Amino acid sequence: MSPVEPNAPSLLSPEHLAMMEGGASVIVSSCDAELVPSVMRAVGSQVSAQGRLVTVYLCRSQSDQLLRDVARSGRLAAVFSQPSSHRTVQLKTRGARLREAREDDAPVLQHYLKGMERELTLIGFGPVYARAMLAHNLDDVVAIEFEPDQAFDQTPGPKAGRAIEGGT
């Protein structure tokens, strides 16, 4: 993996980053050579380097086609949506890379779960729902790392679909 340039501008504002790290539901998609889509819910995510490096985590046993598509093309779209507000950001890349999950990813996955438990509780679902929805075994988890090439505001309303011009 190429190192993220520390002084490169971020596509995302501090507000976007806070939403994405605070309990956003993450849906990941790609497509095959014939542009047939593949989609899966992530069981975790991490946004670092001021949004210049993103990692999403998928269960291999549920994501076979999506993982093949990403491995073949590097193309990926990830949608981060805050359940309590519907505030939504979509990131796209053509440079996604797969790696096996490691033991040091376990705290990241736990942090994601806690954020989703808080968010889902705000809309009337208990923590048990989040734990069932995001259940995984670490040895079944694959991490997909990428630097976003594009970011879009996908929050329902008049700005939905607009490119995010940069945050920092």
pLDDT(5) > 80: no
List the beta strands (DSSP E) in the chain. 25-31, 37-41, 44-48, 53-59, 76-81, 88-93, 97-100, 141-146, 150-153, 162-163
Q: Is the pLDDT at 168 greater than 60, yes or no?
A: no
CA dist 133 and 155 (Å) reads: 23
pLDDT digits (tens, 9 = 90+) for 112-132: 999 999 999 999 998 999 999
- Residue 50 near residue 7, CB atoms below 8 Å: no
For residue 49, what pLDDT is reported?
A: 72
Within a 13 Å sphere around the CA of 12, how many CA atoms are in the beta-carbon half?
29
Q: What pLDDT was estimated at residue 7?
A: 61
Q: In which band, very low, low, confident or very high, does the pLDDT at 1 lie, cut at 50, 70 and 90? A: very low
Q: Whole-structure pTM over 0.85, yes or no? A: yes
